[in-house]
Chain A
Amino acid sequence: MERKFWKNYQKDIPDNNYYYERSCIRQSFFPGSETTFLRIVGDVLGKQIEDDQNLHTCTGIGYHADVVPFETTQTIIARLFSLMSEKGYRNFVPSCVTSFGLLNEVVETWKHFPEELQQTRDFLKQATGREFEIPEYITHPCDIIYKFRKELKEKMRFQIVNQKTGEPLRVVEHIGCHYSKVFPQAVIGSAEFPQVLAGMVEEWGGQVIDYPERRHCCGFGFRHYLIMANRGYSIANSRKKFESMEPYHPDFIVTNCPGCTMFLDRWQYTIKEMEGKTYDKQGNGIPVLTYEEMTGLLLGFNPWDLGLQLHQISAEPLLDKIGIPYDKEQKYLGKSGKIIDFKGF
């Protein structure tokens, strides 16, 4: 009975041959995370993954901010699927959590309303001459890391453990709403039992904090962040989470959503500027990692290759706790090999 119950919270994750769609937000704010994911899947796990230059936005932010009609979004997504079909893949892997939710939404709509699928096929054909196949799997990259967490552990140089005390670090895991709430049946653990990041953290030596507002939205709110006048909504929601997690003294936050990572990082900075308040004892703020960065760090990748220098909340105190070495001089290196002066900003 217990096994049957938990089956509802599991999902099939393909073990190879992935077609990767980059995220508008992830590329813009944390490009090193996508580089790291490809490196982990391709180089560390030895899997086939396609990084197609022809891919583009799914329109997700425009759709949820209500400037792109659903018919248009469905057809743009159909074009993404068409590109996948052309390359001979069946496993679509969108980096963005909003894309993940929206792709599932669209495919589910087509199941329930075949006329919407036919209309989309007609629109795509008329606009581009293209045809498409629906993916066999829509898998978020965090699902893939979760699936191979034990194999990755064998290759890791570090654990989520305080090197001085030997105690597990205390971790807040935050799962994007459009991963866990739009199609709970399509994800590991759903919103009820958020397991995908917790499974990684616990496998790799950390301790997950279960705090009251664990499932609360980070506050992106689409139009509420995109419009300057509305950003109070966004910061208020993140603040609610920080206030709720503070008593549990987290060592870091890890998220699976490009937007959540950015907001939980930036709003800590803003709250400090506005109110002088930080949510850790040292006054640094709680470092926020992407799951790709967390995995890469434990595998021993150079923190500055991962892109930790793009976080407003400094990650160095966390690296020190785990005992991960880093070269301070390399932090501000550019592609050309020159140091890009941080002074004045």
Chain B
Amino acid sequence: MIDYFERLSRDVRVKEGLKACMNCGICTAICPAAEFFPYNPKEICNILQTKDNKKIEALLKNETIWYCGQCMSCKARCPRENVPGMLISALRKLSQETGLFVESSKGRQQYAISKTIAESILKSGYCVHAENVKPELHPEQGTVWNWYYNNLEEIADRLGANYKKHGPGSLRLIGKKNLDEINAIFEVTGGKKFLETIHSYSTKKAQEMNLEIDDSLNSPYFIKTYTEDSDQ
């Protein structure tokens, strides 16, 4: 069995975010995710403090670690400078490195996030770009967004943007040299290997679930991970 705590303790976010928790519970009191989900950030500190490998493995497999919304309200409030939100980041990374993320419904959503956000970074230099916020996937964006989305260059440029063109400005084309260096950084720092790991475990899980998976955003596995709500 992997020594999960040993792996976690190498992560700088665990070194920084896990002090001696005194169980006051202020993190849970302030946590927006704890109001919405069966989630208790204090328990995350408790479990890590025990260094109990079985309990940590259970965390890496279940829905719990995927509930945090990363608002970091816990960071501002803990009187002992614990940061459950940073511990969550370390746990989620380890869950993906070990492939345990595919055991939970919310964990499997990492595939959809990697296909949308990470690939956007590598291809365009933006985490989010207006052209990817498709109205059919974002009905909450409303009628004004539909109008804007269908006339992006005309309207954005009227507001001073430089839509998908070279030169400075909002929504500009980010040049090839910049994209090449971004991709090289992902290669050298392990970012690409991390994404390949997510895709590899997701592909195995898709096969196990008898769902097709390919490189597109239309595959049944992508759609399931993008639209399936484990809480329903």
Contact = CB atoms under 8 A, between A and B. Distances in A.
A236 B130 contact: no
B185 A75 contact: yes
Interface in B153-191: 153-161, 166-172, 174-175, 177-179, 181-182, 184-191
A149 interface: no
Contacts of A237: 32, 36, 69
A64 B85 CA distance: 10
Given A230-B229, A305-B159, A334 B154 contact: yes
Contact of B170 (A31, A72, A116): A31
A116 B154 contact: no
Given A226-B117, A312-B145, A335 B182 contact: no
Interface string B110-134: 1011101110010001111110010
B178 A54 contact: yes
A32 B159 contact: yes
B70 interface: yes
Interface of B, helix, strand, loop or mixed by DSSP:
helix
B76 A191 contact: yes
A333 B151 CA distance: 11
Nearest to A341: B147
Contacts of B121: 57, 59, 62, 68
B189 A127 contact: yes
Given A27-B170, A62-B117, A177-B72, A342 B128 contact: no
Contacts of A235: 140
A266 B140 contact: yes
Interface string B207-228: 0000000000000000001111
B146 interface: yes
Contacts of B156: 31
Given A65-B113, A307-B159, A310-B148, A112 B16 contact: yes
Contact of B76 (A24, A181, A227): A181
B154 A177 contact: no
A282 interface: no
B100 to A, nearest CB: 13
Contacts of A56: 125-126, 174, 178-179, 182
Interface of A: 22, 24-29, 31-32, 34-35, 51-54, 56-57, 59-62, 64-72, 74-76, 79, 101, 109, 112-113, 116, 123-124, 126-128, 130, 177-178, 180-182, 184, 190-191, 215-217, 219-224, 226-233, 235-237, 240, 266-267, 269-270, 305-307, 309-312, 333-336, 338, 340, 342, 345
Given A31-B170, A229-B230, A233-B33, 11 more contacts: A31-B160, A31-B171, A35-B159, A66-B113, A75-B189, A191-B76, A221-B71, A226-B117, A306-B159, A310-B148, A334-B155
